[in-house]
Amino acid sequence: MQLQAFVSLLLTLAALGAGAFAVLHAVRQRSDAFPAVDKLTKPVWLGILAVSTVVLLLFQLPSLLGFVAVIAIGVYLADVRPRVDEIQRGPRW
């Protein structure tokens, strides 16, 4: 039973780290980059990411709200972040 609690704690800490990274990344981006790649606006993403990170603090994994928070953070990191970085960086060639 303690191994399960330890793994749950590690996963929660990893998700919190990802959430903090996502919030800091979103804060540093230009506001016009988000609509330029057909994504929600910067304030909306900041709200989603901040609420998700707080939810992870309050409802650790493996709770349903914790999984929803991890999915929201994952969507930002896997879909929004690369496209926002790409449009701000410009073409590589």
pLDDT above 90 for 92: no
The mean-pLDDT minimum among 12-16, 26-30, 75-79, 85-89 falls in 85-89
According to the model, what pLDDT value does residue 60 have? 83
pLDDT above 70 for 24: yes
pTM of the model: 0.89
Alpha-carbon gap, residue 50 to 6, rounded angstroms: 25
- b/e string for 36-73 if b means 16 or more Cβ within 10 A? eeebeebeebbebbeebbebbeebbbeeeebeebbebb
Confidence of residue 93 (pLDDT cuts 50, 70, 90): low
Alpha-carbon gap, residue 55 to 42, rounded angstroms: 20
